[in-house]
């Protein structure tokens, strides 16, 4: 979804680790992004519907759901079309990365490369690692 030049990019960060969620939200806000957070798949869906973010960053292992499946569901949705990225502390094989890329999902391994994440959030193309 296009943004007006003076309109901040809206990011939904979904992770079940409250400490990680807090630190990452603060880091993203320092780069000028508007950040919403969610700790479960249900909260993620609710915030998506209420706030219509431009970007969804979802942890691969949400406490109540498979974050990868949620990311694919959102990326494939005709009514919800944020740019989607999966955040994972697990290693991701080249075949898995290719599968996510074909679904339009970027992959960011933990710990996150902040410059790469910033580039993604500002609409620049990033390659999977």
Residue 118: inside a domain? no
Residues 6+ apart with CB under 8 A from 65: 40, 41
Residue 126: inside a domain? no
Residue 127: inside a domain? no
Residue 123: inside a domain? no
pLDDT tens-digit profile of 74-124?
999 877 778 999 998 887 788 888 888 888 899 999 888 888 888 898 887
Q: Compute the distance between CA of residue 8 and CA of residue 110 in angstroms, rounded to an integer.
A: 25
CATH assignment of the domain containing 82 = 3.40.50.2300
Output Rg (C-alpha) for the chain, integer angstroms.
Answer: 13
Residue 1: inside a domain? no
Residue 23: inside a domain? yes
Model pTM? 0.87
Which domain range does residue 77 map to?
10-86+94-112
pLDDT tens-digit profile of 111-129?
888 888 888 988 876 655 4
Say whether pLDDT at 1 is over 70.
no
Work out how many domains the chain is built from and give that number: 1
């Amino acid at each position: 979804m296009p943004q007006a030049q003076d309109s901040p990019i809206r990011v939904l960060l979904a992770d079940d680790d409250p400490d990680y969620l807090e630190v990452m939200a603060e880091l993203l806000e320092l780069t000028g992004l508007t950040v919403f957070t969610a700790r479960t798949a249900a909260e993620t869906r609710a915030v998506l519907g209420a706030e219509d973010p431009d970007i969804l960053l979802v942890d691969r292992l949400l406490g109540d759901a498979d974050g990868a499946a949620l990311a694919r569901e959102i990326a494939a949705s005709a009514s919800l079309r944020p740019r989607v990225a999966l955040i994972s502390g697990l290693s991701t094989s080249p075949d898995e990365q290719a599968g996510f890329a074909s679904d339009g999902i970027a992959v960011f391994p933990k710990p996150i490369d902040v410059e790469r994440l910033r580039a993604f959030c500002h609409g620049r193309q990033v390659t999977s690692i």
